[in-house]
Chain A
Amino acid sequence: MIALARKSLLYEWPRFAPVACAIGFACLLQLLQASLVLGIFRSASVQVSGSSAQLWVGYPGTASVNLGRPIPEGVEALMRMDSAVERIEPFQWSDGNWRGSTGNVAVSISGINPEPDGQVYAHVLSPAERSKLREPDSVIVDRSDLGKLGVHVGDSASVNGYRVRVVAESRGLRSLSGINIVASLETARRLDTDPADASGPTYLVAQLREPNDADAVAARLCCKPAFGPYQVWTASDFARRSELYWMLDTGAGAGVLFLAMIVLVAGAAISSQALMGAVAGSVRQYAMLNALGIGLKNLRWVVLEQALWIGAAGLAGAAVLGLLLLLIAHSQDVPIAFNGTVTLACLLVALAVTGVSGLAAVRSLRHAEPALLLR
């Protein structure tokens, strides 16, 4: 069989190159949009996903990690009594008012265990960075927030009227919920001026002897009324809960998701129109083959093969460009999450759009009189 689809593509590549570019860019847009959406919403749970704890204990019904309220101190004793729990530590979350050279800025304060084996932000802060927090009134901020706070490492500012010093900058503390500054538990308690927070920690986090048992242990420890109001989640559940809250329950999330849908539809429309235009350029030749008795079914396969080759070429270009853009985004601390499943989904959507567009182009043959086409 003559490889009509491939031969045409290679010989007439200037005609098909814009189509491949359109498909590639459409896919790239979808992929970057999806990665940005994931990255932005994943940053809403950076406190959870950046930690090594398997269990999180917080106030019942807490929708997102940044909305925590104090839990009773007695819950820690309950946790320690369970033999499955290996280590447990408190995490203090509070709001603050940063006053620096740029004026007043609302910040969130994370009070963590500064020891090298501390669980909260274990994946974000190095042991050396954590140990700097042992110094009283010291804080660490994300390097992308330094400008907004108007400080450099080594500078001082005030939080809720208390003087603090920036002892280090870090990467990965950037959160959807706002500027996040990290301090030791002692410093955070000192900076917390809300009397309601004095009753206990905002969260307790725990590592288990057997991390795979997290679901069972969380269910076992959860919600004993005798210990007051508290709830236990596995880290993955709590992270997802926070991300879904920002994604679905906030206007920002709905807006970004709507934008993602528009990008998807626009990409599909652009690539399908471009492909249909390119296929339409060969419609007289296809009509001639149909007149000679070659059925629409066979012609459909030729166009489908051609469409998929064009799509593959476009996607290969998109992969290279996408990788480059992801590297640039990472270097600029843009919250972008590269996800294999999402990438595969974007590729499949692009290929499906390509295939369907190709078949739609062949459909025009069905409605056209071969006799009229060939005049």
Chain B
Amino acid sequence: MSTLHTRAPTLRARAVSKGYTTGRLRTSVLENLSLSIDSGALTLISGPSGCGKSTLLTILSGLQGVDQGQVHALGDELGRLDKPALERFRLQHTGFVFQDFSLFPALNACEQVELPLHYLGMSRSRAKERAQHALDEVGLTSQRHLRPAELSGGEKQRVALARAIAKEPQLLFADEPTSALDAANGQAVIDILHRIARNHDTTVLCVSHDARLIRHADRVLYMEDGRILQDSCAPSNAAGPH
């Protein structure tokens, strides 16, 4: 069992519950869920639609709060942070990749990646340098001057990935990052996510029902009805359940 278990978890949820109210109807999405996730590995949350995996990702990333329980990220209890503090936490420590690339049509690839860096207080030249480095890492060196309309779906997702990793976040969250991509592009994104986890010791938490991702994940959490039913590590990575 491995190096994955020798370090302190970067993400920890303890007895977390979350539900939504629509009209008079209360739907429970997560029920008394606990888990720990380590850095340096690609952890995949899988399960059928509506099982609560995306909700779990948004809770662990600080995008929304919990009804009950506690969430610790990098040692901070997210429930104790107010909205500006949560925004600061996300700015400094997290990256996001979503199925929808959410790129600004007017900006070229390099500018898309640079934009969040300026809000970290980085100088223009430093931000540009970082952006170019991130684009190199996702294999888009020659496409850095192209706008989204000139990029393929896979290239757009890699720009979004570069935008997420340019901040050099300790936590990288990806929600269905390969669902809209063909096999080759999906594989490229999976490889990049894996490489980021390994090379940068980043905690990569990915939500997907894409079977291709399951094969490449270091650890797979299988969810149903708001609970984790199965927690398994890929044999090659020797990461066991927590």
Q: State the A residues within 8 Å of B (CB).
A: 1-2, 4, 7-8, 10-12, 282, 284-285, 287-296, 298, 369-371, 374-375
Contact = CB atoms under 8 A, between A and B. Distances in A.
Most chain B beta carbons < 10 A, residue from A288, A293, A375:
A293
Interface residues of B, number: 38
A294 B92 CA distance: 10
Contact of B106 (A7, A292, A369, A375): A7
A7 B108 CA distance: 10
B54 A371 contact: yes
B37 to A, nearest CB: 18
A285 B119 contact: no
B175 A375 contact: yes
Interface of B: 54-55, 57-58, 61, 63-64, 84, 87-92, 94-96, 98-100, 102-107, 111, 114-116, 118-119, 124, 147, 163-164, 167, 175
A165 B94 CA distance: 90
Contact of B118 (A2, A293, A369): A2
The 3 closest A-B pairs by CB, nearest first: A293-B91, A11-B106, A293-B90
B115 A293 contact: no
A298 B104 contact: no
11 contacts: A7-B106, A11-B106, A288-B96, A291-B90, A292-B116, A294-B91, A370-B63, A371-B54, A374-B96, A374-B102, A375-B98
Contacts of A369: 58, 63-64
Given A1-B118, A2-B115, A295-B84, A285 B104 contact: yes
B103 A285 contact: yes
A293 B147 CA distance: 23
A371 B106 contact: no
Given A4-B115, A295-B87, A12 B96 contact: no
Given A370-B64, A371-B54, A375-B100, 17 more contacts: A2-B114, A2-B115, A4-B106, A8-B106, A282-B104, A285-B103, A290-B87, A291-B61, A291-B96, A292-B90, A292-B95, A293-B87, A293-B89, A369-B58, A371-B55, A371-B63, A374-B96
Contacts of B98: 288, 291, 374-375
